[in-house]
Each structure stands twice: as C-alpha cells, then as structure tokens.
Chains A and B, each alone.
Chain A
Amino acid sequence: MSPDWNDPVAWAVFAPAMALLGALINGLFGRRLREPLPGVLASLAVGGAFVLALIAFFGLLGREAGVAVELWPFLPVAGLDLSIGFVVDALAATFMLVITGVGLAIHVYSIGYMHADDGYARYFALLNLFVAAMLVLVLADSLVLLFIGWEGVGVCSYLLIGFWYRQTANADAGRKAFIVNRIGDAGFLLASFLVAATFGTLTIAEVNAAAGTYAFGAGVLGSIGLLYLVAATGKSAQLPLHVWLPDAMAGPTPVSALIHAATMVTAGVYLIARLSPLYAMTPEASAVVAWVGALTALVAAIAATGQTDVKRVLAYSTVSQLGFMFVAVGAGAYSAAVFHVVTHAFFKGLLFLGSGSVIHAMSGEQDVRRMGGLGKRMRTTGTTALIGTLAIAGVPLLSGFFSKDAILAGAWSSTLLADYGGKALFAVLLATAALTAFYMFRWYYLVFAGGARGDARVHAKVHESPPSMTLPLVVLAVLAVVGGYVGLPAFAFPNAIDPWLAPALAEIHLDHPALWLEWLLVAASVLAAGLGLAAGWWVYERGKGALASRIGAGPLGRAARAGLGFDALYRAAVVGPVEGVAGGLAIGDRDLLDKGIGAGVTSATWLGRLVAVWQSGHVRLYALAMLLGLAAIVVAIAATVANVGGRA
C-alpha cells in the first residue's frame, strides 16, 4: 500500500527525518560552525517538525481513523512482514505536539544555557537525535519499530546524562541509566517474543485487534501486559527500576527538562496507552500497573521531601508524577493519563528550566540550602516557578489540578480495578497529592523566598537570565496555566481531550458516582493541596526551618534523603553478586577450559596435566558448578522443547 501524500497528515512522518537531518548536520559539521548557529539550526529542525505536528493535528480533527504510512520492508520473515511504517493518529499527534512543541522551547532555551560550552554542537546534535528517536517511538506502527525509538531515546539519554563525560560521576550516571533501562528492555523483548508467538504479528493494530478476540482476563494477555510493564518501569523510572532518574540529573538541565521530565520518561505511559485494547482485557496486569504507579508515587514523594539538590527534588517529583500516570493507565483512564502527560510536560518542563535559570545565576550552585531569596533578584524566573509550583501542587484552575483530578476520579470509578482496591488507590494518590504540595512548597520557599543563605559573593552576582532563556519560561508558564482547560471535569463541563483521544484508545466503562460525590472528590483533592501547602508554610515559614531540621535528623528524614535506600540495596543484592559470579566464571574459564583442556590438548602429557588441573581444589568446584548448571539448563530446555512440541 503506497502512502497517500496528498493527505497532509501523512507528512508527519517527515518530522523524525527533519530532526535527524538537524542531528546529522550538527554531528558532522557542527564543530566548524560558530555559536549560536548549531543551536539555531537545531531549533529550526525541531520547529519544522512542530509545524508538521500542527498540520497533522489540525488534519486529524474531526476524523476517526489515523493515517498509516509504510515506507520500506524491515523484517519480512516467518510471516511477520514488518515494515518501517508509521501511524499518525490522535495519540501520536498529541505526543508529537508535546515532543516538538516543548522540545522547541527547550532547544531555544539551550541556545543561551549552553553558551560557550566545549560541546555546543555535540549537544544540539544529540538533542535533535533524541527528538527524532522519540518521534519514531510515538509514530511506530509496530512494536519492533517502537523498540527502535525506545532504545534510540535511551542511547541519547545515556549520552546526554554523561554529556560532561570527563567527570566520572556524570559518565557513571549515564551508564547507570543505560544499564537499568536495558534490564527493562529485556522485558520488552520477551514481551514481544510472546506477542509474536501468541498472535503471529508484531504490528500494533493487529496485536490490539487480536487481543480483543481473547477471553477477558486470559492468562497470556496478563503475561504480555506484565512483561511490557517491566519495560515501562525501566523507561518511566517506576519501582523497582526508578533508581536511574535521580542520578540522571548529572546531565545539562535542559536535558532534564526535555528528556527526563517532559517526554522520554513518559514513554512507558505511552506504551501502555498504545496497547490499551490489550491492557483493557487483563484486569490483573492493569491492577499491577496501577499499584506499581501508586506505590512509586508515594515513595518518590517521600524521597522528594528530603532532597537538597534543586534538581533532585524535581527528579523525584517526576518519578512520583509518572506514578500518577501509571495509576491512570492501570485504571483504564487512558485519556486522563495522556492529559497528565501533557500538563506535566508544561509545568515540569517549566520547573526544570526555572531551576536551570537559577543554577545559571548561582554560578553552578545546586544546593537549596545555599539559596533563598532569589525571587526578588530574578522576577521572571521566580514568578514562572511559582506558577509551576502551584500547578503541580494541584491548586484549582491551574493545569495540574484538572489532570490530577481526572486521574483521581479514574481510580475511584474504574471498573477495571473494582476488585483490586480502586478506592485504596484513590486514597494513596490523595495522600501523595498532599505530599506533593508540601515538597513543592518547600522547594519554592527554599529557592526563591526568605533571605539569602550561603556564599554572599555568589548571591551578589545573581541576575536574571537572558531573554532566550526567560521567553521559554513565560511560554511554558502560560501553558501551565491554561493547558488544563482542554480537559475540564466531564461530569459538569465540556471536555475536549477525551473525545479527541477516544478513537486511539480503548474504552473502559467507568462507574460514575453520584454528582454530589463527584464534587466531594474534587473538594477532597483541593483540600489535600491546601493541606500540603499549609504544612509547608507551617514547617518552613512559621517554624523557620527549626522544625524541618528536627524532622530531617530523624529516621524518616534520613531515609528520605537516601531515597529510601534502594541504591544501597541494589549494590549489595544485585551488582555485587553478579560481578562476583562473572569473576568466578572468568577464573574457571582460564583454569579449567584454557589451562585444563586448552593447554591440555597441546601438551605431550596432556592426561597427566588434566588430572593435575582437576586435582586443584577450586577448579574442581568450578567445574562441578559449571557442569551442574549446564546440565540443569540442558534438561530444562529439553523439557520445554518437548512441551512446545507436544502442544503443537
């Protein structure tokens, strides 16, 4: 089927190509271009992609079906017939708008932020490459192409976290992100193999259609859902694979805004929304999705209260907000999840760019304990940051309020989770919402309010950032205010986003409560936000920090600061043992296979040597362990192969 290029919606497939072109130009020739030309070129590339996204968006308005474009064959094997092909529909177009729109603001911001950096062109090449990969991810028509984008954004994330690679800590953080994501990717691969074995296809539309023909709650759908959830927890930094995201703050701040807040980390949410017809058929897997999200939201919010790095607070906040989105997709409130992706991109992108502006002004200082009072010196940054803070805290009439509310309502009324504690999920999220208001008040207060702490010389030099940086702040602040009005509560107001996304998502029956209860739920969420803000005021303004330091010294404070100890646990329970086993294998391979058999066959008295090697104690042990392990694998595989054979 050759694509219909007369349909402007189909042009959207050139958006990734545009970003890729920008990446190529900057990657190959960027070092010969003078600042700010690489930044301008990169911004133009993303701007062009944004225009294509707008064309696709307006072209799709009032249309049900998406537009499919197949470009060239990719894996034409064993009946899979996979192509490099894209589908432009409401879900893809929404993500495209966020990726290219917020992306454009962040590219422009970076022109000033990365000023005079050694790797100026490399930075913009990677940022463009990221946009290209992210667009491939959301436009892909098959799970394999989606995976190409999925790993592509991971590679860019790795390279941008370790952008200042000469410091070991940065390179380590990039490595950690890559390896933890690879663990998640293992889930993606196994899930895709199971999909291929079950449905005989990896094309998303066909998979979704086939899943619909299975019995509700079929075991294989649950297995697929859980395996893709593993992948989603990696990419979207959910428990237990969330540990890479706080460290990812080692990258330049605009990168944190674009990749580690607005776009890439929402890929897990996108994946589940994209496969919503499958997840809608498996309440078990959906419940696990929701509970992983809820626990992550709570745990990360607690951790956020103890962080002292201006960006790490926001990183844990992102993990927590992504948890909200996971609850939404788990509850079957797919449109609410996408809605929150959009508003979160606005206010969290804004908050990160704001902290970038602060770090810029504070000569690189990132510790909130040495900040304070910056709002007076940096009017635009301070005001926009306040808007972002109130939006994420869930203050009524700002964007975060509406999208968070949609999620809370979804958790309460989901029929998918009725047997799996939907009401309890609501309660956890409500508590998390209060915590969110609290830690964000703390963040804003410590950075922008009160008096200046720390080095007076640093504070004396504080200045507002240049217009190329403040303009994106203003744009995002406006969006953080008005962005929520596309998704007003549907029980009382006109709602635009639900019907727009409906053709691309599965529909779950929601058990709507009575109207008075709906209003009561809204009131509860307003109350939670108010309580959180009030508690923040109480602890930091009224208590002048004395209360804060008392709590911080206690066990809860220590745990929060350490992110509840996940890193130490993984080092002891996973990294250490794996390295130990690998080291053991290396020794065994050398002593037994190489010196034993290997050198043995070349030696005249090889039998004698073999016996001698065998008799040294540890070699015997290795050999025994290795052979037993291998024998176990052979037996297990032989058994499963026989099983598969018997089934067919």
Chain B
Amino acid sequence: MIAAAIVLVPLAVAVALLLAPRRAVHLPLAVLGVVATLVLALFADGPAGRLDVPWIPTIGAWIALDATGAGGALLRVAALVMLPTVLWAALRVDRHAHRFLAALLATLAGVAGIFLARDLVLFYVFWDLTLLPGLALLGGWGLAHRRAALVKYLMYAVAGSFVMLLALLALRPLSGAAGYRFEELLAATPQLDPLTQAWLFGAFMFAFAVKLPIFPLHAWLVDVNEQNHPSGAADVAGTLYKLGGFGLFAWALPLLPDGATLLAPLGLALGAFTAVYAMAIATRHTHLKRVLAYFSISHMGIVAVGLFSLHLAGQSGAMALLAAQMVTTSGLFLVAGMLHARRGSFELDAFGGLAKAAPAFAAVSLLVLFGGIGVPGLANFPGEFLAVLGAFAASPLAATLAVMAAIGAGAFGVNLFQRLFQGEAKGAPTRDLSPLEVAVLVPIVAATLWLGIAPAANLTAFEAEAAAGLAAAPPPVVLELAEGGAR
C-alpha cells in the first residue's frame, strides 16, 4: 500500500495546491507533501513496498509498483532533492507560486511512478505524463524565448515517446509474454532472436537517449535550461526527470540482452563521445545555465558508458552516478538561482570575486561543484569510478575517453569557480547566504557528502537489480572482474 501512496500523495498535494486559496498554506502544504513522500519512500520495505493489481486485463497491463529495489533508492534521493527545491521556489517565484509548486509536486509524483513502475505500460504512462509539468513550468514561467525552447523540447520528447510506444506495442505479441509486468516480459523477451531484439532495443535506446540525453539528441536540454525560470527550481525538476539511464537499466537492458549486446558498442561510443564532447563545450560557454546543461550532458555520457559496459560494476555505478548527479546538478542549478538573485544575470562576466563578501556561499558552491566534477569523497565519485571501471573491462578506449572527460571536468570546475568567486570583487557589493538559503543548501550539502562517503547501501540495491538483468544475458564480459583473481 505504501507503494501506491508514494505516487498518490505528491499528486494529491499538487491538486490541493492548485485549489488551495490562501497563500499562507502553500509552502507548508508543499513541504509536507515532499516530506511525506520521502518518509514513505524511506519506510517502503518488505511487502508493503510492493503493489500488484490488475489494470487493463485485455492488454495484460497491471498496476505493479515496487519501492524496495533500485527505483526506490533513486526515488529517495529525488525526493530529498525536491525538498529544498520547493522551499527555494516558494521564495523566488512571485507569480502564481502555488501553481509552480503544484508542478514541482506533480513532477515528483511522475518521477516516483517512473521509478516504481514494474509494468511497462504503466511505466510508459508515467514517462509521458511527467512531461506535462515540465512543459508547464517552461511555458508558464520561462523567459522570453521559451516558446521556441518548448516546441523543440516537445518535438524531441514526442519523437522519443512515439518510437518507444511502437517497440512497446510490438514487444508482447512478438515474444508471446503473458503480460507487461517485468517478470512476465523477462520470461519471454530474452528468447527473441537477436535481430528482432536489436530492432526493439534500438527503438528503446533512441527514446532513452533523447531523455538521457546524449549526443546527438541533446540539443533540446540546453535551451530548456536557459529559458526556464531563473530560480533554477524548474531546472531541478528537469534534472530529476532525465531518466533515460534508468529506463535503459530497468527495462531495455535486462529485457533485450542480445539486442543490448549487439548495440552496446554503439552505446559505449556515443556515451564516451558525449562525455568528452559536452565537457569541452561546457568550457566554452558563458551563460551559466547553458554551461551547467552541457556539464550535466557530459555526466549522462558517463552514465551511458557504464550501462553499455554490460558489466555489473559499470551498471551499478551508472545508477549511483544518476542518483549523485541529481544531487549535485540540482544543487548547482539552485546555486545558479542564488547567483541570479544577486546579480540579475547568468552571464559569467557579471560575476567575480564573490568569495570576499560571501565566503559561506563560496564554500558551499565549491563543495557542490567539486561533488559534481567527481572529486573522491563526494557524491559523484563512487558512481563515476565504477561506471568507468566497468567500461574499462568492456573497452579500454571508451574508458580512456571517459577519463579524459574527467580531466576536462576538473579544469571546468576550477575555471568556473574562479570566474564566479575568485579575483577582485566586481560590481555592487553582495551578501552572503541568508538563513533561508542555508536551509535550502543544507540537504544538498548533506547528500553530497553522504553519497560520497557511504554509497554502499544504494550500490547494493543497484547491484542486485543489475545482476538479475545481466543473468538473463550471456554476454561474455560480465562478471569477468569477479573471476579475474582466479588466474
């Protein structure tokens, strides 16, 4: 029952926010909704964390939810990130703030559905519905050129969804699976002949590559981030919804192992190329949000590299990185919003020397930024390390490219920090963090440290699911690492 509540509570709160008349209740209501979701997700253990009821028997679709596995672990991180985001949005959004908050809560509900769904049709429904609050945030609160960004986003998303829908519809008739629940599909789809699997996998891969995103399907993200509300809160919602990696991990890779094996080299290459390519471009842009967009695309390249390594450590690491970048990328977007609140601009030239007047702000930003560039001991490192370790076992070349991206990320991080915070102070004097800003950043900082120092619990959850998926496949490289010592 808890599993259903995790999805329904934020949805109900979103609706309540739309209807609630008094300003004073908006923020408490939103915070309560997120906290309730987080608490439910934390206690979703054992049978209560699962749900399995028939939905549309004619097509074999079930309301199947599971909050006890990898999806549950990711959801807990997403809900934790949503907490400061709601707080910050309430502070920074002037116009129709309650609707903005409702869109954030709706995103959380949708993301929860994507994470917990154990039926492919249900997954697909959540996948598409979660697009709506994102579009609402962009269309309702975006900047001057939001219309072009919105249309572009919609085109990419619809193209991806359409292709996935075709594959989804073909999957059950072709394989003769009893239904669309994961276990039912898993019993049938891996037996499909490799060529059919490759076509189906290719379709899923296309859809998920759009939403990772990776090269060459990433162009929509940069404009969306640039045109979103300057608080950065909408960008957090967007970051939490970048779940192509999870889609591959939870569905496409385990269900179509032969297709995955055939297309893995392409995925490895695209991922490794994206990692380097986007990082290089990130260093050349001067608009902070575009910079962060490319920076996060580079991470998604590493996620892809880990997934397509078809390696236990690689896939577990990819999910750990997905979770970690939710924290660090979101944290950086919130920091960007706080920077905008001080200078009214995202152009890097507007900043410089802020550390003098705002030392605490500088310190926190540096911590989150270093978490993002994969400094060991902070959030992104465990996932990044394992993702590329797995990739190395599959292709040393792909791993080398990914490591080059890590060098680039280092240069990127210290360059950005210098342009924002070091040097002589530019422009009007600024202020350090307000108590409310501190409250917004505390969960981000705590999670950045926690995921960096104690990632084991999440990794165990990811590994269990990755192992189940990889067990269905006979790819040659899997588990080689574990046996390597026997020589």
**A and B: interacting chains:** yes
Residues of A within 8 A of B (CB): 27, 31, 72-80, 84, 122, 144, 147-148, 150-152, 155, 158, 162, 165-166, 168, 171-172, 174-175, 178-179, 182-183, 185-186, 189-190, 192-194, 196-201, 206, 210, 579, 581-583, 585-586, 589, 593-594, 597-599, 601-602, 629-630, 633-634, 636-638, 640-641, 644-646, 648
Pairwise interchain contact B401-A633, C-beta atoms closer than 8 A: yes
Pairwise interchain contact B395-A637, C-beta atoms closer than 8 A: yes
The CB with the most chain A CB atoms within 10 A, among B421, B455, B484, is that of B484
Segment of B11-19, B111-119, B353-361 in the binding face: B353-361
Pairwise interchain contact A78-B377, C-beta atoms closer than 8 A: no
Contact digits for B456-470, partner A, Cβ 8 Å, 1 yes 0 no: 100110110000000
Pairwise interchain contact A165-B407, C-beta atoms closer than 8 A: no
Pairwise interchain contact A155-B375, C-beta atoms closer than 8 A: yes
A594 and B219 in contact, given A582-B280, A586-B284, A637-B269 (Cβ under 8 angstroms): yes
A194 to B265, CA, bound (A): 20
Q: What residues of chain A lie closer than 8 Å to B399, measured between beta carbons?
A: 190, 193
A539 to B482, CA, bound (A): 64
Q: What residues of chain A lie closer than 8 Å to B353, measured between beta carbons?
A: 166
Return A453 CB to nearest CB of chain B, in Å. Answer: 33
A31 to B272, CA, bound (A): 44
Q: What residues of chain A lie closer than 8 Å to B151, measured between beta carbons?
A: 602
Q: What residues of chain A lie closer than 8 Å to B453, measured between beta carbons?
A: 84
Which chain B residue lies CB-closest to A645?
Answer: B476
Within 8 A of A (CB), among B368-405: 370, 375-377, 381-382, 385-386, 388-390, 392-401, 403-404
Q: What residues of chain B lie closer than 8 Å to A84, measured between beta carbons?
A: 453
A582 to B409, CA, bound (A): 13
Pairwise interchain contact B266-A186, C-beta atoms closer than 8 A: no
Return B63 CB to nearest CB of chain A, in Å. Answer: 32
A210 and B455 in contact, given A166-B423, A641-B264 (Cβ under 8 angstroms): no
A77 to B151, CA, bound (A): 42
Pairwise interchain contact A155-B463, C-beta atoms closer than 8 A: no
Q: What residues of chain A lie closer than 8 Å to B359, measured between beta carbons?
A: 31, 122
A199 to B375, CA, bound (A): 25
- Between-chain CB contacts (< 8 Å), 7 pairs: A171-B423, A179-B414, A182-B406, A182-B407, A200-B485, A634-B270, A645-B477
Q: What residues of chain A lie closer than 8 Å to B480, measured between beta carbons?
A: 197, 648
Which chain A residue lies CB-closest to B405?
Answer: A186
Pairwise interchain contact B483-A200, C-beta atoms closer than 8 A: yes
Within 8 A of A (CB), among B204-230: 215-216, 218-220, 222-223
Return B434 CB to nearest CB of chain A, in Å. Answer: 17
Which chain B residue lies CB-closest to A159?
Answer: B366
Pairwise interchain contact B424-A594, C-beta atoms closer than 8 A: no
Would you call B148 an interface residue if the criterion is a C-beta within 8 Å of the partner chain's C-beta atoms? yes
Pairwise interchain contact B410-A179, C-beta atoms closer than 8 A: yes
Contact digits for B150-176, partner A, Cβ 8 Å, 1 yes 0 no: 011001100100000000000000000
Which chain B residue lies CB-closest to A182?
Answer: B410
Pairwise interchain contact B281-A78, C-beta atoms closer than 8 A: no
Q: What residues of chain B lie closer than 8 Å to A194, measured between beta carbons?
A: 392, 396
Q: What residues of chain B lie closer than 8 Å to A589, measured between beta carbons?
A: 219, 277, 281
Pairwise interchain contact B152-A197, C-beta atoms closer than 8 A: no
A193 and B389 in contact, given A151-B376, A598-B219 (Cβ under 8 angstroms): yes
Q: Is the interface of B mostly helix, strand, loop or mixed?
A: helix
Segment of B20-28, B39-47, B246-254, B309-317 in the binding face: B309-317
A573 to B478, CA, bound (A): 40
A165 and B355 in contact, given A72-B454, A179-B414 (Cβ under 8 angstroms): yes
Q: What residues of chain A lie closer than 8 Å to B311, measured between beta carbons?
A: 78
Would you call B343 an interface residue if the criterion is a C-beta within 8 Å of the partner chain's C-beta atoms? no
Q: What residues of chain B lie closer than 8 Å to A633, measured between beta carbons?
A: 269, 272-273, 397, 401
A635 to B455, CA, bound (A): 35
A144, A168, A182: the one contacting B385 at CB < 8 Å is: A144
Residues of B within 8 A of A (CB): 148, 151-152, 155-156, 159, 215-216, 218-220, 222-223, 264-266, 268-270, 272-273, 277, 280-281, 283-285, 311-313, 316-317, 353, 355-356, 359, 363, 370, 375-377, 381-382, 385-386, 388-390, 392-401, 403-404, 406-407, 410-411, 414-415, 418, 421-425, 453-456, 459-460, 462-463, 475-477, 479-486
A72 to B411, CA, bound (A): 32
B277, B395, B403: the one contacting A641 at CB < 8 Å is: B395
Pairwise interchain contact A201-B485, C-beta atoms closer than 8 A: yes
Which chain B residue lies CB-closest to A31?
Answer: B359
Pairwise interchain contact B394-A586, C-beta atoms closer than 8 A: no
A2 to B145, CA, bound (A): 60
Pairwise interchain contact B376-A199, C-beta atoms closer than 8 A: no
Pairwise interchain contact A640-B396, C-beta atoms closer than 8 A: yes
10 A-B pairs besides A78-B390, A175-B415 with CB distance below 8 A are: A74-B454, A75-B385, A144-B376, A171-B423, A189-B388, A193-B399, A594-B223, A597-B219, A598-B220, A629-B273
Return B194 CB to nearest CB of chain A, in Å. Answer: 14
Which chain A residue lies CB-closest to B153?
Answer: A602
Pairwise interchain contact A637-B485, C-beta atoms closer than 8 A: no
Pairwise interchain contact A582-B284, C-beta atoms closer than 8 A: yes
Q: What residues of chain B lie closer than 8 Å to A162, measured between beta carbons?
A: 422
Pairwise interchain contact B376-A648, C-beta atoms closer than 8 A: no
B376, B393, B421: the one contacting A644 at CB < 8 Å is: B393
Q: What residues of chain B lie closer than 8 Å to A602, measured between beta carbons?
A: 148, 151-152, 155
Q: What residues of chain A lie closer than 8 Å to B392, measured between beta carbons?
A: 190, 193-194, 196-197
Which chain B residue lies CB-closest to A188?
Answer: B403
A601 and B280 in contact, given A75-B386, A165-B422 (Cβ under 8 angstroms): no
Q: What residues of chain A lie closer than 8 Å to B277, measured between beta carbons?
A: 585, 589
A148 to B156, CA, bound (A): 40
Pairwise interchain contact B284-A199, C-beta atoms closer than 8 A: no
A193 to B265, CA, bound (A): 19
Pairwise interchain contact A77-B285, C-beta atoms closer than 8 A: no
Q: What residues of chain B lie closer than 8 Å to A155, measured between beta carbons?
A: 370, 375
Pairwise interchain contact A166-B422, C-beta atoms closer than 8 A: yes
Return B339 CB to nearest CB of chain A, in Å. Answer: 17
Pairwise interchain contact A78-B463, C-beta atoms closer than 8 A: yes
Which chain B residue lies CB-closest to A631?
Answer: B269
Pairwise interchain contact B313-A601, C-beta atoms closer than 8 A: no
Pairwise interchain contact A637-B268, C-beta atoms closer than 8 A: yes
B216, B406, B425, B486: the one contacting A597 at CB < 8 Å is: B216
Pairwise interchain contact B313-A644, C-beta atoms closer than 8 A: no
Pairwise interchain contact B418-A75, C-beta atoms closer than 8 A: no
Return B158 CB to nearest CB of chain A, in Å. Answer: 10
Pairwise interchain contact A166-B386, C-beta atoms closer than 8 A: no
Pairwise interchain contact A75-B455, C-beta atoms closer than 8 A: yes
